[in-house]
């Protein structure tokens, strides 16, 4: 993030302005990614008019960066109408898509409408691996064709790759592919639990050894020693800082109008069909509860070695049962990165050691 | 002497934060913040009001500055903003496709 963007974020936070909002236009999708956290059935998406009204409210509230995501956004027949409306309201618009439905004509339209960037999910450079994750034969070719169409229009494209056991060996190939295409590439080892709380998809995530390999790959990390170093104990300022921007300068709106602190933080704080967006943002008790959390308030984590350097996600912690508690997935990352177990891991080890081992008693001879 | 017309580039993204504009260039995503004077210029740049009129009507009363100096500064500013493709300049009125006012969003 640029220094100017940091300054703007600080100012927005001080003024309680939602600088950046992700709106999922639909949960419907034309792919069936094995790790996806969404229910793809339509349970009553907002209409075109409802979304336009929401966009007006968000512009009035000061939202600057608007991310349209899904589901697959191009499945909405009114997608370009909504995009045009958003750009008329002078939002900085970013898109997240699998790009399967983007051809030359759509790419040209996106360019004309001044979209800032398009993030596209690519899981492997090999069709047999990528298509086995999306469960759609031919999807890699379609997505890569789309990237070329978008690039030919001069648009900024970012490849997003989620690291799982099924594609672990292919991230260098995706990175090389991104370089060949002249686009950015991001790699995320986090698999998110389903929004209904089902955690079975987490089994698709990479194991400790694979994560260790990624965290020690200088082509991804840069300075490995600095990245893997144990952070100095936090000062008072660090302990008074916020865990992340969720609820402070960012939030998320579902296709049904529900407002959450973040796409990865399924704590409902209100619905734009019943309340004004700004009223939910400013006055929701739950949003203000999220907003009140500082690092010093975290149970377990406050005393952890990694508290000031951990990527702890409050949303993942919430899905584990306590938004002030630890997020085990992030504990694992901190441990793999530094070799030092987190306070949460140590606490679990102690609890396990304290369990009484029940052994079968020798059979007593009966008299 | 020909008059200069200024218009907001519709490819730029913009929002007002506490009275100052945040602008993102549509060309290369470079982010700018505009000071009060530049913000007035941006907000008044409708493509049909000449720059000298914007200066005399909107900028001079706000900042107690001589018209000649203000006009020269405003022209330099407009040219700089145009070089980043966040504003358009022309010696004839500019037709704009933006339907809505960028003033929306002064959330303060």
**CB pair distance less than 8 Å for B99 and A88:** yes
Low-confidence ranges of chain B (pLDDT < 70): 1, 97-108
Domain boundaries, chain B: 5-88
> What is the mean pLDDT of the segment spanning A128-144?
98
Q: Note whether B24 contacts A116, CB cutoff 8 Å.
A: yes
The tokens of B42 are what? Answer: 């941006």
Cα angle, residue B77 at apex, residues B63 and B89 outer, rounded to 5° = 120
Tokens of A139: 């999807």
Distance between CA A328 and CA A297 in Å, rounded?
Answer: 18
- Main-chain dihedrals φ then ψ at residue A289, nearest 5 degrees: -65, -45
Cβ proximity of A156 and A116 under 8 Å = yes
In chain B, which residues have their Cβ closer than 8 Å to the Cβ of A8?
17, 22, 31, 33
Distance of alpha carbon B51 from alpha carbon B65, whole angstroms: 16
Helix runs in chain B, H state only: 36-44, 51-54, 60-63, 67-83
Count of C-beta atoms within a 10 Å radius of residue A38: 19
pLDDT at B97: 63
- Identify the pLDDT of residue B101: 44
The rounded mean pLDDT for chain A is 94
Res. A361 pLDDT band, cuts 50 70 90 = low
Span A227-246, average pLDDT:
92
Residue A355 pLDDT exceeds 60: yes
The two structure tokens encoding residue A324 = 């002030």
Residues A180-208: tens digit of each pLDDT: 999 999 999 999 998 888 899 999 999 99
Q: Which residue of A has its CA nearest to B11?
A: A114
Provide the pLDDT for residue B96: 78
* Nearest-CA distance A298 → chain B (Å): 32
Cα-flanking dihedrals φ and ψ of residue A95, to 5°? -120, 145
Q: Are A75 and A26 in contact (CB under 8 A)?
A: yes
pLDDT tier for residue A351 given thresholds of 50, 70 and 90: confident
The whole-number average pLDDT for the span A214-243 is: 92
CA distance A37 to chain B (A): 31
Tell me which chain A residues have a C-beta less than 8 angstroms from the C-beta of B104: 56, 59-60, 89-90
Reading the block at residue A137, the tokens are 């034969």
For residues A224-251, average pLDDT: 93
Band the pLDDT of A363: cuts 50, 70, 90: low
DSSP β-bridge partners for residue A237: none
> Are A235 and A7 contacting, i.e. CB atoms less than 8 angstroms apart?
no
Closest chain B residue to A10 measured between Cα atoms?
A: B17
Predicted-complex ipTM score: 0.85
Q: For B29, which residue in chain A has the nearest alpha carbon? A: A116
Q: What's residue A356's pLDDT?
A: 58
Q: What is the pLDDT of residue A195?
A: 81
Q: Please write the tens of the pLDDT for every residue from B1-15.
A: 679 999 999 999 999
CA A170 to chain centre: 21
Kindly state whether B23 is in contact with chain A, defined as any CB-CB distance less than 8 angstroms: no
User: Tell me, which fold does domain B5-88 have in CATH?
Assistant: Outer Surface Protein A; domain 3 (3.90.930)
Residue A359 pLDDT level (bands cut at 50, 70, 90) = low
**Phi, psi for residue A160 in degrees, rounded to 5:** -110, 125
Whether omega for the bond prior to residue A71 falls within 30 degrees of 0, making it cis, is yes
Write the residue in A11, A93, A114 that is nearest to B17 by C-beta: A11
This prediction's pTM: 0.91
Beta strands in A218-283 (DSSP E): 250-253, 258-260, 270-271
N-terminal to C-terminal alpha carbon distance within chain B: 40
How far apart are alpha carbons A328 and A310 in whole angstroms?
A: 11
Q: What is the pLDDT of residue A196?
A: 81
DSSP letters along B68-94, please?
HHHHHHHHHHHHHHHHTTSEEEESS--
- Could you give the C-alpha distances from B78 to A171, A298, B50, in angstroms and in order? 46, 50, 12
Q: What is the pLDDT of residues A20-64, one digit of tens each?
A: 999 999 999 999 999 999 999 999 999 999 999 999 999 999 999
């Amino acid at each position: 993030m640029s220094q100017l963007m940091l300054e703007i974020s600080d100012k927005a936070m001080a003024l309680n302005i939602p600088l950046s909002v992700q709106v999922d236009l639909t949960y419907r999708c034309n792919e069936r990614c094995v790790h996806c956290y969404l229910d793809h059935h339509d349970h009553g998406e907002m209409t075109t008019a409802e979304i336009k009204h929401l966009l007006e409210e968000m512009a009035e509230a000061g939202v600057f960066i608007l991310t349209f995501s899904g589901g697959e956004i191009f499945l909405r027949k009114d997608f370009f109408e909504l995009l045009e409306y958003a750009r008329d309201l002078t939002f900085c618009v970013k898109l997240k898509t699998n790009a399967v439905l983007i051809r030359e004509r759509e790419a040209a339209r996106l360019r004309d409408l001044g979209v800032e960037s398009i993030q596209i999910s690519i899981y492997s450079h090999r069709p047999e691996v990528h298509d086995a994750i999306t469960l759609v034969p031919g999807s890699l070719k379609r997505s890569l064709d789309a990237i070329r169409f978008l690039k030919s229009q001069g648009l900024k494209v970012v490849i997003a790759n989620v690291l799982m056991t099924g594609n672990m060996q292919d991230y260098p190939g995706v990175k090389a592919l991104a370089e060949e295409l002249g686009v950015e590439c991001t790699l995320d080892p986090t698999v998110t639990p389903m929004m209904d709380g089902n955690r079975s998809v987490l089994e698709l995530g990479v194991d400790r050894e694979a994560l260790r390999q990624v965290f020690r790959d200088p082509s991804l990390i840069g300075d490995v020693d600095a990245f893997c170093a144990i952070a100095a104990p936090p000062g008072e300022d660090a302990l008074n800082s916020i865990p992340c921007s969720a609820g402070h300068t960012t939030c998320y709106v579902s296709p049904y109008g529900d407002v959450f602190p973040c796409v990865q933080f399924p704590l409902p704080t209100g619905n734009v069909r019943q309340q004004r967006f700004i009223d939910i943002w400013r006055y929701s008790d739950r949003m203000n509860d999220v907003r009140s959390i500082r690092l010093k308030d975290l149970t377990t984590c406050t005393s952890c070695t990694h508290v000031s350097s951990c990527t702890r996600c409050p949303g993942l912690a919430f899905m584990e049962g306590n938004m002030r508690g630890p997020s085990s997935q992030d504990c694992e990352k901190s441990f793999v990165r530094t070799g030092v177990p987190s306070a949460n891991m140590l606490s679990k080890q102690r609890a396990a050691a304290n369990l009484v081992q029940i052994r079968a008693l020798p059979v007593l001879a009966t008299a | 002497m020909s008059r200069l017309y200024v218009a907001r580039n519709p490819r730029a993204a913009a929002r007002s934060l506490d009275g100052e504009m945040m602008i993102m260039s549509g060309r290369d995503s470079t982010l700018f913040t505009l000071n009060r004077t530049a913000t007035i210029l941006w907000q008044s740049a409708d493509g049909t009001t000449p720059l000298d009129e914007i200066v005399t009507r909107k900028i001079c009363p706000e900042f107690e500055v001589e018209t000649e100096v203000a006009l020269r500064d405003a022209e330099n500013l407009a040219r700089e903003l145009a070089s980043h493709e966040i504003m358009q300049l022309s010696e004839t009125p500019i037709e704009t496709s933006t339907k809505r006012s960028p003033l929306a969003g002064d959330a303060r």
